[in-house]
Amino acid sequence: MRMKYVLSEVLVGLWRNVTMTVAMIITMGVSLTMLGASGLIYAKVADMKELYFENIEVSIFLKAEVTDEERTDLAARLEADPLVSQATYVNKEEAFKRFQEMFRDSPDLLSAVKADQLPESYRLKLVNPEEYKTISDQYAAVGGVDQVVDQSQVLDKIFKLFTAGQNVALAAAVAMAVAALLLVANTIQVAAYSKRREVAVMKLVGASNWFIQSPFVLEAVVAGLFGSVLGLAALVALKKFLFDDALSALQGLFAPVSWGEVFLTFPVMAGVGGLISAVTAWVTLRFYLRV
């Protein structure tokens, strides 16, 4: 019977103040969407780092006037270097072939570049890709070396972009969360005010504190859960319409986001939404009802 009372109070409470409830759910939903999105970006960046670093290469380009002696000397040093797991020599013809392969869709570019204009190079795989800096320092000044280029530098820029996106999403999540919290606090105050007579009688006759507070707290929790459902719907829509449709051309660049990962954000969003709402409501009641 008491459970039934509490639940019916929750529904009545949400309905009595329905515009506020909707505002609360929407803000909560947007906040949780941002939270979920930043979580997904975080997971994706980690995935992509792993994926890219496996295939990453450091290229040592040689000067055009490099001597045979310098070339063999460098080959021997690379062979002996413990940081290098594999070193492949690419001569001018090979480099031109790779170039043709890479830019086969741009005939203008192809016709402008002759085979002997491309530098010879060594392509290195590192034992630990993050030790690029050491390699660069060691070989940049070696005779015959023009420059040391690391692909991970380019990748770092891409990852920085993702991290910035993640930070923006997180900041938006926090800002919306603050708005959502204020709405929860306000809704709970209004609810407590509209039930002040009942609360006064309950306190007078000795109803337990949890019994007085639980309808209000549950009201906030239910709104938080609705908000997380909204957040899930938004993420599903984002994946379907933005990621799978609009950005499908960039599929090769991004690590794919699976439906499983999207749905995995739901328990997190529901947990965060529910818990934050509950705590806010409870704290508000401590000040407002003094129970």
Partner 1 sequence: MIQLEQVTKTYPKASRPSLDNVSVSIDKGEFVFFIGPSGSGKSTIIKMLLHEVAPNKGRVVVNGKDVTSMRSWKRPHFRRSIGCVFQDFRLLPNRTAYENVAFALEVIGKTKAVARRVVPEVLELVGLGGKEHRYPHELSGGEQQRVAVARAFVNRPLILLADEPTGNLDPDTSIEIMRLLDRINRTGTTVVMVTHDSNIVNQMRRRVIEIESGRIVRDQARGVYG
Q: Which stretch binds partner 1 (CB under 8 A): 29-37, 150-158, 203-211, 272-280?
A: 203-211
DSSP one-letter string for 158-178? HHHHHHHHHHHHHHHHHHHHH
* 287 binds partner 1, rule: CB under 8 A: no
What's the rounded Cα separation, in Å, for the pair 8 and 13?
8
* 3 binds partner 1, rule: CB under 8 A: no
Q: Which stretch binds partner 1 (CB under 8 A): 47-55, 129-137, 201-209, 269-277?
A: 201-209
Closer Cβ to partner 1, 72 or 208, answer by number: 208
State the nearest-atom distance from the C-beta of 287 to partner 1, in Å. 15
Task: Choose which of 117, 134, 209, 258 interacts with partner 1 (CB under 8 A).
Answer: 209
What's the rounded Cα separation, in Å, for the pair 79 and 57?
16
As a 3-state breakdown, the chain gives helix, strand, coil percent values, each rounded to 5, of 75, 10, 15
State the nearest-atom distance from the C-beta of 197 to partner 1, in Å. 6
* 201 binds partner 1, rule: CB under 8 A: yes
Task: Choose which of 112, 204, 246, 250 interacts with partner 1 (CB under 8 A).
Answer: 204
Site size with partner 1, rule: CB under 8 A: 17
State the nearest-atom distance from the C-beta of 201 to partner 1, in Å. 6
State the nearest-atom distance from the C-beta of 202 to partner 1, in Å. 5
Task: Choose which of 198, 254, 268, 278 interacts with partner 1 (CB under 8 A).
Answer: 198
DSSP one-letter string for 21-84? HHHHHHHHHHHHHHHHHHHHHHHHHHHHHHHHHHH--EEEEEPTT--HHHHHHHHHHHHH-TTE
Question: Letter for the amino acid at 218?
Answer: L
Q: Strand pairing partners for 86? A: 125
* 141 binds partner 1, rule: CB under 8 A: no
Task: Kindly list the distances between the CA atom of residue 195 and the CA atoms of 104, 116, 137, in Å, as whole numbers in the listed order.
Answer: 74, 86, 73
- Structure tokens of 76? 């021997």
Question: Phi and psi of 88, rounded to 5°?
Answer: -115, 135
Q: Which stretch binds partner 1 (CB under 8 A): 95-103, 205-213, 223-231, 250-258?
A: 205-213
* 1 binds partner 1, rule: CB under 8 A: yes
What's the rounded Cα separation, in Å, for the pair 124 and 220?
58
Closer Cβ to partner 1, 193 or 211, answer by number: 211
* 175 binds partner 1, rule: CB under 8 A: no
Q: Interface with partner 1 by CB under 8 A: which residues?
A: 1-2, 5, 197-198, 200-209, 211-212
